[in-house]
Amino acid sequence: MRTYIVGNWKLNFTVGEASIYLHKIMKSLPNYRDIQVIVAPPMMALQPLSLQVDRHKVKLCAQNAFYRDYGAFTGETSFSQLRGAVDYCLVGHSERRYIFHEDDKVIAKKVAAAIRNKITPILCIGETESERAFGETADVIRDQLASGLSEVSDDDVSKVIIAYEPVWAISSVKSAKLATPDEVAEVIKLIKTSLGDIYGAKVVDEIPVLFGGSVGPSNAGGYLTVPGVDGLLAGGASLILSEFVDIINVAKRVRS
């Protein structure tokens, strides 16, 4: 299975800055067959960057989209409008869940809409600090996983990527703490087991599972050696060229 390195740029960079930065990333990378590099620019930059990107080196990912294909939904961008411009879309990111109050039903509809429009959804799941403190991690992970995939058929579930991103470990959270490889391994095992219980052991091997949470060059190698981790989702580090390229190079060394 490929190793996925995803950079979420969040609400950063103008269209011009995003174009320059993407150019620098592509210039810094060879063509890796076994490493899939993905970047998620702000929505306004996606269309011009889709004309610029060398898809042999980098794939584009939307940070969000609406689950209806068309209609009277002022201010929204649908998956159908993104079709052809991006190959991936983040769904259920903790900032969408907790800042914009997207519930499980909305997230499930978005996962289904992405697949319907031939865009690979990266379904983000993860517990908060208080949920972990109260021993609710397993229940939260199972619930978010089952609800997020509830509108996906058995035939299509292998078209989804899962990203475990504990909210308490995201660098933008003031009280963020680094997750240890053992803590990550415990949840990755839980995710794989839950997928197996729902869809069968064969499907588990077809669904990539990523880890995200204050990922940087210094800890990327440790996370990538965790059994079952098929890649990384980086936030702040993906905004710094040297750090993002270092993460990609670490992935190449670890997986060689």
* pLDDT per residue of the chain (256 residues) written in tens, 0 to 9: 899 999 999 999 999 999 999 999 999 998 888 999 999 999 999 999 999 999 999 999 999 999 999 999 999 999 999 999 999 999 999 999 999 999 999 999 999 999 999 999 999 999 999 999 999 999 999 999 999 999 999 999 999 999 999 998 876 655 568 899 999 999 999 999 999 998 988 889 999 999 999 999 999 999 999 999 999 999 999 999 999 999 999 999 998 7
Do 53 and 19 form a contact (C-beta atoms < 8 A)? no
Q: Please report, for the chain, the start and end positions of each structural domain, with discontinuous segments joined by +.
A: 3-255
CATH entry 3.20.20.70 includes domain 3-255: yes
Task: Indicate which residue of 102, 131, 165, 243 is catalytic.
Answer: 165
Question: Could you give the CA distance from residue 8 to residue 44 in angstroms, rounded to a whole number?
Answer: 14
CB atoms within 10 A of CB 18: 21
Q: What is the pLDDT of residue 176?
A: 62
Please write down the long-range contacts of 151-158, taking CB distance under 8 Å and 24 or more positions apart: 151/108, 151/109, 151/111, 151/112, 152/111, 152/112, 152/115, 154/199, 154/203, 156/115, 157/199, 157/203, 157/207, 158/203, 158/206, 158/207
What residues pair up with 42 in beta bridges, in sequence order?
none
pTM, full prediction: 0.96
User: Has 93 been annotated as catalytic?
Assistant: yes
165 classed as catalytic: yes
Catalytic residue among 93, 102, 127, 151: 93
Q: Alpha helix locations (H) across 53-177?
A: 79-82, 94-98, 104-116, 129-133, 137-148
Q: Which residues contact 106 (CB under 8 A, 6 or more apart)?
A: 67
Beta-carbon neighbour count of residue 190 at 10 Å?
17
Q: What angle do CA 91, 97, 100 make, to 5 degrees?
A: 105
